[in-house]
Amino acid sequence: MLSAINRRVLSILLSCILLVSMLLTGCGAETTQHKPGKIRIGMTLYDQYDTFLSQLAEEFAGQIEPDVELITYNASQSQQTQNSQVRKMIEEGCDVICVNLVDRTDPTAVIDSARKAGVPIVFFNRELVEGDIGRWDKLFYVGADAAQSGIMQGELAARTCLTDRSVDKNLDGIIQYVVLEGEAGHQDSIVRTEYSVNTLMKEGVKVDKLGYAIANWNRAQAQTKTSQFIESFGDSIELILSNNDDMALGAIDAYESSGMIKSGWPVIFGIDGTDVGLEAVRDDKMVGTVYNDKEGQARAMYRLAMLLAKGGSIDELSDEYAVSEGKYIRLPYAKVTAANINSYLGR
């Protein structure tokens, strides 16, 4: 028989075991059963209807091996929703979480939750600022170099303007252009616009900016904004630089519904090389785009996520990728025109 003292010691011991196991399972939170031996990866997208990201997420899902589980959430453009999704994925036992931030300037809640639980985060596509990524050693970023995409778009546009005299429709020696911009405050909007226009000028093209419009990466919004440009400027727009393919396609939609004959259209350039974007290059509606390597980014994210889930380090990837500051992996962009479209279609 146990003495009263031994019974007390036993009951304290049992309470401690219960407390520890509650802490480990998230203290009464609703958790799905984490299958033993399986690695669980969480992913949250700022908006699952974004064309480029939905294709990137599809590529990522295509990498998942049989002993790995993937849980994906759509944050529907709400940072608050995303914060609670991250908490939920931690409760659900995710070993690593890939976060496509809604508001790239507001990652505090995500970082705090992850750090508290010791779950590494791979941010992607929407780059957080340096001060934030430095807040914990298990925060990483996979994406691309926005400046490079702007430079490549500028080079493509310059080559067309300098070699095809028909671009300068009014023959004034100056290219009248408009810019379609992504979200205000997104690194890819600010940087692409700046580098694209500066490169165009550096390459020797004289330019005259008629206007710019923010269309949030969105095809329908870009169509509306371009229709307004057509109303204001008629056929005097000679070049459209779009921060992504979907907005370039919105511009094409606007010209198609304007009834203007194709020879009156401006030359249009995008960035991304989404399936629909590549088709527009093939069909000679868009002169060129810059390939945002979704396959490469998805592969790098998966390789990194798996390493981190197993307790490894990003340095193990440095033979395959250019790892900078022990935190960043950036995949290179590539120029796409009618000349090399066949090697990109159907990737």
Is 272 one of the binding residues for ligand GAL (CB under 6 A)?
Answer: yes
Cα–Cα distance for residue pair 240/182, rounded to 1 Å: 14
Would you say 238 or 246 has its CB closer to ligand GAL? 246
Site string for ligand GAL, 6-35 (x = CB under 6 A): ------------------------------
Candidate residues 216, 218, 292, 297; the one interacting with ligand GAL per rule CB under 6 A: 292
Site string for ligand GAL, 207-226 (x = CB under 6 A): ----------x---------
Would you say 176 or 274 has its CB closer to ligand GAL? 274
Contact region with ligand GAL (CB under 6 A), list: 83-91, 115-123, 182-190, 249-257: 182-190
Is 52 one of the binding residues for ligand GAL (CB under 6 A)?
Answer: yes
Is 125 one of the binding residues for ligand GAL (CB under 6 A)?
Answer: yes
Tokens describing residue 274: 């989404």
Cα–Cα distance for residue pair 215/314, rounded to 1 Å: 36
CB 226 within 8 A of CB 256: no
Assign 233 to helix, strand or coil. Answer: helix
CB 230 within 8 A of CB 260: yes
239 φ, ψ (degrees, to nearest 5): -150, 135
Residues within window 239-258 making contact with ligand GAL, judged by CB under 6 A: 244, 246
Would you say 106 or 168 has its CB closer to ligand GAL? 106
Would you say 176 or 216 has its CB closer to ligand GAL? 216
Which amino acid type is present at position 268? I
Candidate residues 41, 42, 50, 300; the one interacting with ligand GAL per rule CB under 6 A: 50
Cα 100–Cα 106–Cα 111 angle in degrees, nearest 5: 70
Is 126 one of the binding residues for ligand GAL (CB under 6 A)?
Answer: yes
Q: How many CB atoms lie within 10 A of CB 336?
A: 26
Cα–Cα distance for residue pair 271/34, rounded to 1 Å: 39
Q: Smallest gap, in angstroms, from Cβ of residue 311 to ligand GAL?
A: 30
Strands 239-242 and 323-324 come out as unpaired
Is 271 one of the binding residues for ligand GAL (CB under 6 A)?
Answer: yes
User: Which residue shows structure tokens 């023959």?
Assistant: 171
Q: Smallest gap, in angstroms, from Cβ of residue 175 to ligand GAL?
A: 23
Contact region with ligand GAL (CB under 6 A), list: 73-81, 180-188, 293-301, 328-336: 180-188
Cα maximum dimension of the chain: 104
Instruction: Give the full edge-to-edge strand order of the sheet including 139-144.
Output: 68-74, 39-45, 96-99, 121-124, 139-144, 328-331, 323-324
Would you say 69 or 188 has its CB closer to ligand GAL? 188
Cα–Cα distance for residue pair 121/100, rounded to 1 Å: 10
Q: How many CB atoms lie within 10 A of CB 213?
A: 17
Is 153 one of the binding residues for ligand GAL (CB under 6 A)?
Answer: no
Would you say 93 or 150 has its CB closer to ligand GAL? 150
Would you say 69 or 272 has its CB closer to ligand GAL? 272
Is 188 one of the binding residues for ligand GAL (CB under 6 A)?
Answer: yes
Q: Closest Cα to residue 100, out of 118, 79, 115, 70?
A: 79
Residues in contact with ligand GAL by CB under 6 A are: 50, 52-53, 125-126, 182, 186, 188, 217, 244, 246, 271-272, 292
